[in-house]
Amino acid sequence: MRKKHSLNIKKMAFKINSVSKYFLSSACCFLTALVFLSISCSPNEENENLSSRIFDFSDQQLRYMIEELNEAIQEDPEGKKVSPRSVRDGEMFVVPSSDWTSGFLPGMLWMMYEYHGDEYWMEKAVERTAPIEREKLNDGTHDMGFKVFNSFGQGYRHTNDEEYYDIIIEASNTLITRYNETVGAIRSWDFNRDRWDFPVIIDNMMNLEMLFWASEVTGDKKYFDIAKQHAWTTYEEHFRDDYGSYHVVDFDTTTGESRKKITHQGTADESAWARGQAWGLYGFVMTYRYTETPEFLELAEEIADYMLYHPNMPEDLVPFWDYDAPGIPDAARDASAAAIMASALYELSEKVPEKQEYYRETADQVLDNLYSNYRSQPIGSNHGFLLDSSTGHHPHGYEIDTPLIYADYYLLEAALRKKSLRE
């Protein structure tokens, strides 16, 4: 297995830049504290209530979403529609279990149950999780974590249901069939085989958590080894010298070397697609949690710096869909990237004590801005989605400036993490 650890060389080359960012970070912490003190006579009280405001709002929105979803399911003669993904042409866009986003609503319903303790949410979570089971044997996709772990994984935490456990392990066994030892990674896409040989996307970091968990609960190290090696390969190949990320790296399965690097959902191959940066940040913080590999934590910090200090990052920290998007400052935003970033920053704050306050305050700012300025209004609008102004696939011209279910998922996860850290 290849372990070049090439980013260590990059970090030496950028040592001066890293030192300067450390002092800038300290200054930012101080200035951020002053801002928080100046905007209100009781900022702490408002900050403490943010999670409860988000979940109270979500209670009303998601009840409405479930009503609309039930109608869409009843009108589906083939019985394939299981979960909402976005709003297209003014209508709720509902997808089958095979879609990579199908596990987000079930996961949100489990989080609603965790926060409110209301049996209504338990009932709905069980109901919406069940249709995802068929995906446990779908070996044509890498998105097992998004689909199965976000739904059954969330459910198992609350129920200890052995059937849920078995489904997650089956899904993990299915996922590792896509691992190539020569490449040292799990294959992402199967489409466009005329364009690439063995594509690995930055999003795939998010699916590793299920494998780490499977290794932890079964004691079988194979899941851990595959997940960690995939993370090393991504660490080595996906990031440029400035810690911007490529979306896709295509590998030669004979040599294991990278063939080409592109940014499929960004504005250009050398640009920084906002959600891709967020996936990388979240993925490497999570991977550090399971592996305690210092290089993964260092990379997460560098990705966070890249995002937060980028000259095109807006003041409200809700990024444009690509940091190099044409038309800035009038380019579309991506609230989903901001929500993922906020959730990751809360976890990062636990791993870096010397920057804990800065990361938490920054995450608080992002979460507050999302709730205050990007939530669906009035209540009962947007077919029950929580946030507006996300961007799915801008180059292909769809899901632009619209609600997206995964933005809502990470908004709730961030709010839960905030509450947990406070307690």
Domain ranges of the chain: 7-97+224-422
For residues 384 and 66, the answer to whether their CB atoms sit within 8 Å is: yes
What pLDDT is attached to residue 48?
A: 67
What pLDDT is attached to residue 423?
A: 84
**Is residue 388 annotated as a catalytic residue, yes or no?**
no
What pLDDT is attached to residue 46?
A: 64
Per-residue pLDDT for 370 more than 50? yes
Matching residue, tokens 């912490």 = 29
| Two structure tokens written together for 413 | 């996860």
- Report the distance separating Cα 254 and Cα 322, nearest Å: 33
- Report the distance separating Cα 341 and Cα 300, nearest Å: 11
What pLDDT is attached to residue 191?
A: 86
What are the φ and ψ backbone dihedral angles of 95, each rounded to 5 degrees?
A: -115, 160
- Report the distance separating Cα 78 and Cα 62, nearest Å: 25
Distance between terminal CA atoms of the chain? 42
- Report the distance separating Cα 296 and Cα 280, nearest Å: 10
Per-residue pLDDT for 18 more than 70? no
142 Cβ contact list (under 8 Å, min separation 6) = 175, 178, 186, 187, 188, 189, 204, 207
For residues 370 and 387, the answer to whether their CB atoms sit within 8 Å is: yes
Q: 3-class DSSP state for residue 37?
A: helix
pLDDT in tens, 104-116: 999 999 999 999 9
For residues 222 and 176, the answer to whether their CB atoms sit within 8 Å is: yes
Torsion of CA 60, 62, 67, 71, to 10 degrees: 150
Of 69, 82, 86, which Cα lies nearest the Cα of 399? 86
Q: To the nearest whole percent, how much of the chain has pLDDT over 70?
A: 89
Return the H-helix or E-strand segment holding 260: strand 258-262
Per-residue pLDDT for 347 more than 60? yes
Q: 3-class DSSP state for residue 84?
A: strand
| Two structure tokens written together for 221 | 């190290």
pLDDT in tens, 139-153: 999 999 999 999 999
User: Does 252 appear as a known binding residue?
Assistant: no
User: Does 241 appear as a known binding residue?
Assistant: no
Length of the chain: 423
User: Does 143 appear as a known binding residue?
Assistant: yes
Q: 3-class DSSP state for residue 207?
A: helix
Q: Does the 7-97+224-422 domain belong in CATH 1.50.10.10? A: yes
The predicted model gives 159-183 an average pLDDT of: 98
Q: Kindly name the residue from 143, 250, 364, 388 that is annotated as catalytic.
A: 143
Per-residue pLDDT for 314 more than 60? yes
- Report the distance separating Cα 172 and Cα 272, nearest Å: 30
Of 163, 168, 193, which Cα lies nearest the Cα of 176? 168
Of 321, 363, 117, 138, which Cα lies nearest the Cα of 146? 138
Per-residue pLDDT for 192 more than 60? yes
Instruction: Give pTM, 2 decimals.
Output: 0.91
What pLDDT is attached to residue 45?
A: 58
Q: Per mean pLDDT, which range of 35-39, 119-123, 310-314 is the poorest?
A: 35-39
| Two structure tokens written together for 238 | 């996906």
Q: What's the chain's average pLDDT?
A: 91
Per-residue pLDDT for 11 more than 80? no
3-state secondary structure 102-121: CCHHHHHHHHHHHHHCCHHH
Task: Provide the pLDDT confidence category of residue 19 given band limits of 50, 70 and 90.
Answer: very low
**Is residue 220 annotated as a catalytic residue, yes or no?**
no
Q: Per mean pLDDT, which range of 4-8, 121-125, 259-263, 341-345 is the poorest?
A: 4-8
What pLDDT is attached to residue 17?
A: 46
User: Does 279 appear as a known binding residue?
Assistant: yes
Burial of 43 (0-12, 13-18, 19+ CB in 10 A): middle
Task: Provide the pLDDT confidence category of residue 37 given band limits of 50, 70 and 90.
Answer: very low
Task: Provide the pLDDT confidence category of residue 193 given band limits of 50, 70 and 90.
Answer: confident
The predicted model gives 309-337 an average pLDDT of: 98
Helix axes 294-309, 274-291, angle to 10 degrees: 150
The predicted model gives 260-265 an average pLDDT of: 96
pLDDT in tens, 85-97: 999 999 999 999 9
What pLDDT is attached to residue 12?
A: 44
What b/e sequence results for 96-107 when a residue is b if at least 16 CB atoms lie within 10 Å of its CB, and e otherwise? bbbbbbbbbbbb
Q: Kindly name the residue from 139, 190, 197, 203 that is annotated as catalytic.
A: 203
What pLDDT is attached to residue 41?
A: 37
